[in-house]
A and B are shown apart, each in its own frame.
Chain A
């Protein structure tokens, strides 16, 4: 692995800090404020309908509330596990097309913007699904036909297709938090820098200086009870070394971790008491085969890749954040495949001999060379360097170029990569990753006007769209899952992509901060509304 400036400094920091940490870490953070630092250059927006940066969603979800959410620290895996937030109850029609939400009464928006009512809910959902908004989760709203208020405290959402998982996919998403209609109309574009919600914390300030970041203060009138910690301070410290030192010195209490081999171990060496909160499954890392390019059009070659890549070893190298995955849906998600649920021929265990045999059968007894590129982002680069080495062992020489993240995605979207990779976090909505990555309608186009189906699956090998349509029309939860699993097995047979691993989202926490629950799964943010600091 190449030594970069950043890894060099990080390594040095690890060594020197490990030697000297015990002698003098000074706790600078106060007892009434939890400080948390993210790996980003600064806040982009606090407008939920426009946010695409994960770090900003921590603030968005503390300032605002959703109607219904998962239990703290984990995804609800069954419809019965969801917990009320701004909606005190909800009901799905038998055909799973109509959802009715009864709102909590008397919930007040921050800063005197009045009571939250159905008008605000309709406004917020309509705004989130407006195609002119720049948010990253637009596809979650495409199934909504209409949102209507029925009195002051009832909202009815009508869907185009049945969706028994509507709450898990759309309603609990950060982009579907409830904003004050009055404040949003009054503030216009400025709402992204002065948001008004009903959440556990009220927005105080946003400084363009990333080291000052966002200040929030506890909302004493929050429907869930006043948060025990008075202030929440969100900071942005991009550099890994700086962020790590900020945690070790006590300047901040929580930092976003790094998804790279060895990083968590280095922190554990420095301070074994640090807590590692990992929200699994996190991002699904997939490696796609551009089937319009030779020799990747040959399924034997693609299967050779699947046998040659030791996905358990990759997960181990990225421990503790990474988990081996078998399908596009994480094993912990509804319908997620596991080794036991698959026939042996679709498990693709690590078997270099079988990979070589398949390559020979495809006409490449001595392997071949191919060009590809990956992103300089740590998680992409780490995984792909391991893949490159594993493929070299079976005779496939990948000339891997590491390029900047923006260029990487732009080139992928123009069909320029041979083995594009993707790392995306999905909610537990089983059809979503299949639709995004493999449906005909998402096919990548050379002019950049296509989607993220980089393999051209569904076009070069048809069949997936029919299964996705069937699943979309099926109102019954269990039957829908069965169809999705059938689609997943078809994908494993055709190998248009390899689901490599899921990489959980990692926060390292000073043990002085107690969350009040254990983080097991969920989105890349979790509530600090009950967190205390000693």
Chain B
């Protein structure tokens, strides 16, 4: 296991380097001058030149690239162009909010999706299956930001049960602030994962070993939960991994609507103002996330199906 993890981490280095290079090139190709974005349209040429000198944009491109890679590798991202806060401080502020939102949404999504998917597969063609399909269809059709806005208006504005905006302070307050955004993302995630669970379980239910288990007289409950579901979970884990990654990058709209801090909105804001240090830090953190989530999925795969570990 340890070797597998180490190998995966080493494999990630060229990927990260490629991502960083693409980010560097993309930021330079993108139209828009960071100096103008920060100093405003009425900035004088002297002010713009002074700003470019101060942040190193007047250096040759290769020099900018080298310092970009070295700074990224050492997690030394400097200060934000826009507000002069240390980028590390901004990441430290935003990262926990994104992580807690992703984890909470994943837990809500999984807790709802797997029982719903199993019930739907077990009761194929019955009312419960139809109900589950309608739930999934709605989940697929409704964008998370819309669901977020509706939850916010109903439960925060009208009933006053939840806060309108912000991320909260202290554990209880943070959980209170987290509830609605996590529910919005979790419900959407549940729709996707429950469909995946249903189709995967139906697929597995036709396998010989499931038939054998039934023929040997195992109870239906034992057949489903011990024999079928364990194997059906492999594609679900893959789907869950992908959905975690999409939650990480796609939580921007939810963060905006709920006025929450988070990596997504930090990154979008930085792109708007061409705030290179914040963009590079955000991308590095996101890339690391991708690597770690994939690694976690591999480990869970191995735990669910030890044969996968042998192959890896």
Chain A interfacial positions (CB closer than 8 Å to B): 5, 8-9, 12-13, 16-17, 20-21, 23-26, 28, 41-45, 52, 131-134, 136-139, 189, 192-193, 208-212, 237-239, 241-243, 245-246, 248-249, 251, 404-407, 409-413, 422, 424, 436, 448-449, 452
Is the beta-carbon distance between B83 and A42 smaller than 8 angstroms?
yes
Interface-central residue, B45, B156, B164, B274, by most chain A CB under 10 Å: B164
Please indicate the chain B residues that have their CB under 8 angstroms from the CB of A413 in the complex. Answer: 33, 36, 41
Contact of B157 among A9, A20, A42, A209 (CB under 8 A): A20
Q: Which residues of A lie under 8 Å from residue B46 when comparing CB positions?
A: 131
Complex interface: chain A residues within 8 A of B265 (CB) = 41, 238
- Taking a contact as CB atoms under 8 Å apart, the answer to whether A245 and B36 are in contact is no
Instruction: Report, nearest first, the 5 A-B pairs whose CB atoms are least far apart.
Output: A26-B160, A211-B166, A52-B40, A406-B32, A20-B158
Most chain A beta-carbon contacts within 10 A, residue among B32, B156, B167: B32
Considering the complex, which residues of chain B in the window 26-55 have a beta carbon less than 8 Å from any beta carbon of chain A? Answer: 30-33, 36-47, 50-51
In Å, the complex CA distance between A239 and B264 comes to: 14
Interface pick from B110-118, B207-215, B238-246, B255-263: B255-263
Inter-chain contact A211/B39, CB cutoff 8 Å: no
Interface-central residue, B82, B83, B143, B274, by most chain A CB under 10 Å: B83
CB atoms of B274 and A208 under 8 A apart: no
Q: Which residues of B lie under 8 Å from residue A136 when comparing CB positions? A: 39-40, 42-43
With a cutoff of 8 Å between Cβ atoms, the chain B residues found around residue A25 in the complex are 157-158, 160
Using Cβ atoms and an 8 Å threshold, which residues of chain A touch B176?
none
Q: Bound complex: CA of A327 vs CA of B40, how far in Å?
A: 24
A-B contact pairs, 9 of them (CB 8 A): A8-B146, A21-B157, A45-B84, A209-B167, A212-B166, A241-B152, A245-B152, A245-B153, A413-B33
Which chain A residue has the least Cβ–Cβ distance from B152? A245
Choice from A23, A237, A407 contacting B31 with Cβ under 8 Å: A407
Residue of B nearest to A12 (CB): B149
Q: How large is the interface on B (under 10, 10 to 19, 20 to 34, 35 or more residues)?
A: 35 or more
Q: Complex formed: what's the CA distance from A424 to B43 in Å?
A: 13
Q: With A and B bound together, what is the CA distance between A137 and B154 in angstroms?
A: 44
Contact of B93 among A13, A209, A424 (CB under 8 A): A209
Q: Across the interface, name the chain B residue whose C-beta is closest to A409.
A: B41
* Residues 62-109 of B at the A interface (beta carbon under 8 Å): 82-85, 89-90, 93
User: A16 vs B156: C-alpha distance in the bound complex, in angstroms?
Assistant: 12
CB-based contact A44/B259 at 8 Å: no
Residues on B with beta carbons closer than 8 Å to the beta carbon of A208: 83, 85, 89-90, 93
Q: Bound complex: CA of A27 vs CA of B231, how far in Å?
A: 52
Q: Which of B139-160 contact A (CB under 8 A)?
A: 143, 145-146, 149-150, 152-154, 156-160
B165-A211 in contact (CB<8A): yes
Task: Known A131-B44, A245-B164, A406-B32; judge A16-B154 contact (CB<8 A).
Answer: yes
Closest residue of chain A to B41, judged by CB?
A409
**In the complex, A231 Cα to B116 Cα: how many Å?**
50
Q: Once the chains bind, are A242 and B257 in contact (CB under 8 Å)?
A: yes
CA distance A133 to B50 in the complex (A): 9
Contact across chains for B165 and A404 when beta carbons are under 8 A apart:
no
Is B287 in the interface zone, CB < 8 Å from A? no
Known: A192-B84, A246-B165, A406-B274. A411 touches B31 (CB 8 A): yes
CB distance from A38 to the nearest CB of B (A): 12
Supposing A21-B157, A24-B160, A404-B272 touch, asked if A5 and B145 sit within 8 A by C-beta, the answer is: yes
> Looking across the interface, which residue of chain B has its beta carbon closest to that of A15?
B153
Contact B259 A242 (CB under 8 A): yes
**Given A21-B157, A208-B89, A242-B259, also A406-B39 (CB < 8 A):** no
B256 touches A12 (CB 8 A): no
Q: Is B56 an interface residue (CB 8 A)?
A: no
Residues in A with CB closer than 8 Å to B272 are 41, 404-406
CB pair B44–A20 under 8 Å, yes or no, is no
Q: Is B291 an interface residue (CB 8 A)?
A: no
Q: Does B253 contact A (CB under 8 A)?
A: yes
Are B158 and A404 in touch, CB under 8 angstroms? no
Chain B residues with CB under 8 Å of A28's CB are 163-164
- Given contacts A208-B89, A242-B165, 15 further A-B pairs with CB under 8 A are A5-B143, A17-B158, A20-B153, A52-B43, A134-B38, A137-B42, A208-B83, A209-B93, A209-B166, A212-B166, A237-B165, A245-B153, A251-B163, A406-B32, A448-B33
Q: Does B273 contact A (CB under 8 A)?
A: yes
* A43 touching B83 in the complex, CB below 8 Å, given contacts A20-B157, A136-B39, A245-B156: yes
Return the chain B residue nearest A189 by Cβ.
Answer: B84
Residues of B within 8 A of A52 (CB): 38-40, 43
Contact B50 A139 (CB under 8 A): no
Taking a contact as CB atoms under 8 Å apart, the answer to whether B157 and A245 are in contact is: yes
Report B231 CB to chain A, min CB distance, Å. Answer: 40
Q: Are A210 and B261 in contact (CB under 8 A)?
A: yes
Query: Chain A nearest CB: distance from B130 CB in Å?
Result: 28
Q: Does B269 contact A (CB under 8 A)?
A: yes
Interchain CB contact under 8 A, A131 and B36:
no
- Chain A contacts for B260, CB-based, 8 A: 211
A248 pairs with B157, CB closer than 8 A: yes
The answer on a CB contact under 8 Å between A409 and B36 is: yes
Q: Indicate if the CB atoms of B36 and A239 lie closer than 8 Å.
A: no
Known contacts A189-B84, A208-B89: A16-B145 contact under CB 8 Å:
no
Q: What residues on B are CB-neighbors of A211 within 8 Å?
A: 165-167, 259-261
B293 to chain A, nearest CB (A): 25
In the complex, the answer to whether B33 meets A251 with C-beta atoms within 8 Å is no
| Chain A residue nearest to B45 in the complex (CB) | A449
Cα-based distance from A134 to B43 in the complex (angstroms): 8
CB distance from B142 to the nearest CB of A (A): 11
0/1 string, B155-179, CB within 8 A of A gives 1: 0111110011111000000000000
Contacts of A242 in B (CB 8 A): 152, 164-165, 256-259
Once the chains are docked, how many angstroms separate the CA of A29 from the CA of B222? 55
Contact partner of B83 (CB less than 8 A), chosen from A13, A45, A412, is: A45
Q: In the complex, A248→B157 CA distance in Å?
A: 8
- Chain A residue nearest to B82 in the complex (CB): A44
Give every chain A residue within 8 A of B32 (Cβ-Cβ): 404, 406-407, 409-410
A400 to B150, CA, bound (A): 33
Assess the A139–B42 pair: CB atoms within 8 A: yes
Distance in angstroms between the alpha carbons of A309 and B30 in the assembled complex: 33
Q: Looking at the complex, which one of B82, B158, B256 makes contact with A239 (CB distance below 8 Å)?
A: B256
CB B107 to nearest CB in A, in angstroms, measures 24
Contact of B149 among A241, A411, A449 (CB under 8 A): A241
